Amino acid sequence: MAQTHHQASAGAGLAVRPPESTRWDLLSLGEVMLRFDPGEGRIVGARSFRVWEGGGEYNVARGLRRCFGLRTSIATAWALDCGIAHGALTMTTPGDASMVTLPEVEGVMAGGSAGTSR
């Protein structure tokens, strides 16, 4: 009988949680790059672009999802910054933290205060 990845890793001294106890099989930490393609013309005179996503971390996560059906996700620096700012606001916002707005989060990300008045 073949060993699962979990069994093989556990035997090597690395504690790996079973897949059913996790949200994702892979969480990729990185950036998503966008390529703006003007088509046949030159970029100087282009009025429209096709946009293609890519980047090393993104390509790995997308490939594992499409080829093997793994549960993958990507966390970009912007998303992480938003989470940190939102966390700071929830600690200082009176009342329901779900009332925190995107402009308030962006304000903290830009270096503003996490204190709000409602």
Statement to judge: residues 32 and 68 lie in one domain: yes
Q: Is residue 68 part of a domain?
A: yes
- Kindly give the interhelix angle for 77-92 and 102-109, rounded to the nearest 10 degrees: 110
In this predicted structure, what is the pLDDT of residue 63? 93
Count how many domains the chain has: 2
Mean pLDDT by 10 residues, the chain (118 residues): 51 80 86 83 82 87 93 78 69 65 75 64
In this predicted structure, what is the pLDDT of residue 38? 86
CA–CA distances in Å: residue 115 to residues 8, 24, 79, 84, 111: 49, 34, 21, 14, 12
In this predicted structure, what is the pLDDT of residue 69? 94
The residue type of 88 is: A
Q: Is residue 114 part of a domain?
A: no
The residue type of 51 is: V
In this predicted structure, what is the pLDDT of residue 1? 45
Q: Do 33 and 55 contact (CB within 8 A), yes or no?
A: yes
In this predicted structure, what is the pLDDT of residue 91? 67
Q: Is residue 9 part of a domain?
A: no
In this predicted structure, what is the pLDDT of residue 79? 67
Containing domain of residue 88, as a range?
A: 77-109
Question: What is the spatial distance between Cα 21 and Cα 62, in angstroms, rounded to a whole number?
Answer: 22
